[in-house]
Amino acid sequence: MSVIDALSSRYSCRRFKPDAVPTDLIHKILTAAQKTPSWCNTQPWDVHIVSGEALRTLSGKLEKEASAGATPNPDFSFPERYEGHYRDRRKVCGLQLYKSVGIEKGDAERTRDQALENFRFFSAPHVMFLTVPSELGVYGAVDCGLYVSSFMLVANELGVATIAQAALASYPDVVREALNIGKERHLVCGISFGFEDTTHPINGYRTERESIASVVKFIQ
């Protein structure tokens, strides 16, 4: 699979099979992702992959926080708002998701439950948490973002589905305590991964991308 093919076929998987990804396959993905470029080759990402009983325990703790209405306190501030075409694109994505699982507009209970699927890791058998040293600030997060992309593209090439989740950074202290991560590291995001459940309707839609003309300016 070429990089172009991997970019074209990758999507955010929101329902996984329970089957674990073989350890050697995970190592193959990680080995390739470690080639990700970073500022001054600092490679600032630390990766924690959670599976099995540890995954179920952490899922329960995060879902409990979210269900109780705890205010998110991410290490990196979430967007203040979405306006204009950013809001429009986000709205279309959300409508596609809700339509795929039959959530009607105004159904607050099912909407909340669908949001909690983030903290159930969409039934994935594995979840990855990525942190960077706090002193590296936004540029450490940018490097980590490159790593996220590398991991997801390589995983796609090797038949492993993924979804990057900012929601998993909502309660970083819960994650730090569970994984014994010091406060000197900031939580960037999580990636749930495994084998896609091709029978679930939530995996049946695809988001669209803007044309080059609408996002690129050539200046000579």
Per-residue pLDDT of the chain (220 residues; tens, 9 = 90+): 899 999 999 999 999 999 999 999 999 999 999 999 999 999 999 999 999 999 999 999 999 999 999 999 999 999 999 999 999 999 999 999 999 999 998 999 999 999 999 999 999 999 999 999 999 999 999 999 999 999 999 999 999 999 999 999 999 999 999 999 999 999 999 999 999 999 999 999 999 999 999 999 999 9
Give the span between the Cα atoms of 161 and 118, in whole angstroms: 15
pLDDT at residue 6, rounded to an integer: 94
pLDDT at residue 174, rounded to an integer: 97
**SS3 label, residue 29:** helix
pLDDT at residue 140, rounded to an integer: 96
Instruction: Give the pair of three-digit tokens for residue 170.
Output: 């909502």
Q: What is the distance between the terminal CA atoms of the chain, rounded to a whole angstrom?
A: 35
Q: How far is C-alpha 7 from the chain's CA centre?
A: 16
**pTM for this entry:** 0.94
pLDDT at residue 179, rounded to an integer: 97
pLDDT at residue 59, rounded to an integer: 98
Give the span between the Cα atoms of 128 and 144, in whole angstroms: 12
pLDDT at residue 1, rounded to an integer: 83
Q: Give the class (CATH, top level) of 3-77+119-204.
A: alpha beta
Q: How many Cα neighbours within 13 Å face the side chain of 48? A: 23
Give the span between the Cα atoms of 57 and 5, in whole angstroms: 36
CB 127 within 8 A of CB 190: yes
pLDDT at residue 164, rounded to an integer: 98
